């Protein structure tokens, strides 16, 4: 592993696939121009809209999203995490909430189907039933082992509230953990940052958290603040509340320093 720049992209994705992909391409290019070698997109980067509309366009969204990720990775010669997009599941009428990790040759390195589905009545009056259209994954997320970028662990949004999933990634050797999200504005203001910092600190790993922001459609408001956090819990970059990027350096020397100073993973009893 070497030192390199990583970018967490922040979007306001809407119910328009091609508009979203154009916005994502613009920000990927901006990140690459600033030197990023690892780029993460948020959850639902290619489409955010009513569930019935998402399902109706499911095949097109899935095909175009995967094609886009491979094209961008090849064009800019970077590794890209496609935060998530819907992938239709045969004979169910539903989709997997799917994240893909793509290498600079446009080859798939790893994929993960979100296991924790957001079925929550938020105190702001909004109700979310992700399970009404999404099939939960049945496998714990993978860690991709990269000599150049470090060991990259995957997860998606609501997973962040389940620390056992991240301990699994730590046990598998994760150095960098992706948490792409479309966090609600209401819960985000209180929980987003502290949860991300906790996952970084307790697993002594970098966290790259791309995010959705603003008014995506109807009453769907997302929190923003895409961030990159170091293994000590220090916020290295924050994209704020508008579409943009958070970019920061991932340093193996910092990982080694923190893990030496706070060897908590070695002291586990359970």
Contact 231, 255 (CB under 8 A): yes
Active-site residue, from 54, 66, 70, 114: 114
Marked catalytic residue, from 37, 54, 64, 157: 157
Give the Cα separation of 120 and 209 in Å (integer). 21
Q: Which of 241, 186, 248, 232 is nearest to 211 (CA)?
A: 241
Report the SS3 class of residue 109. Answer: strand
Can 157 be counted among the known catalytic residues? yes
Determine how β-strand 79-89 pairs with β-strand 94-102: antiparallel
52 is catalytic: no
* Catalytic residue selected from 43, 64, 66, 251: 43
Pairing of β 79-89 and β 36-40: parallel
| Coil vs helix vs strand at 253 | helix
Q: Are 204 and 262 in contact (CB under 8 A)?
A: yes
Quick check: is 251 catalytic? no
Catalogue the active-site residues.
Answer: 43, 114, 157
């Amino acid at each position: 592993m070497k030192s390199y720049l990583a970018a967490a992209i922040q979007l306001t994705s809407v119910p328009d696939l091609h508009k979203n992909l154009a916005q994502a391409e613009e920000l990927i290019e901006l990140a690459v121009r600033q030197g990023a070698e690892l780029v993460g997109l948020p959850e639902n980067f290619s489409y955010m809209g009513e569930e019935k509309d998402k399902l109706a366009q499911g095949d097109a969204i899935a095909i175009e999203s995967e094609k886009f990720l491979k094209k961008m990775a090849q064009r800019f010669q970077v590794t890209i995490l496609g935060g998530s997009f819907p992938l239709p599941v045969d004979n169910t009428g539903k989709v997997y909430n799917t994240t893909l990790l793509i290498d600079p040759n446009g080859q798939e390195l790893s994929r993960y189907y979100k296991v924790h589905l957001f079925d929550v009545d938020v105190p702001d009056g909004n109700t979310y039933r992700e399970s009404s259209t999404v099939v939960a994954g049945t496998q714990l997320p993978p860690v991709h082992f990269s000599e150049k970028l470090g060991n990259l662990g995957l997860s998606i949004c609501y997973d962040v509230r389940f620390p056992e999933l991240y301990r699994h990634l730590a046990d598998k050797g994760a150095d960098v953990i992706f948490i792409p999200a479309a966090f609600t504005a209401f819960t985000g203001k209180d929980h987003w940052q502290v949860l991300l910092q906790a996952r970084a600190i307790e697993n002594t790993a970098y966290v790259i958290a791309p995010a959705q922001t603003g008014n995506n459609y109807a009453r769907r408001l997302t929190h923003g603040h895409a961030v990159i956090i170091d293994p000590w819990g220090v916020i290295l970059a924050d994209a704020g509340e508008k579409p943009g990027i958070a970019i920061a350096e991932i340093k193996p020397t910092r990982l080694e320093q923190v893990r030496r100073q706070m060897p908590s993973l070695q002291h586990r009893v359970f």
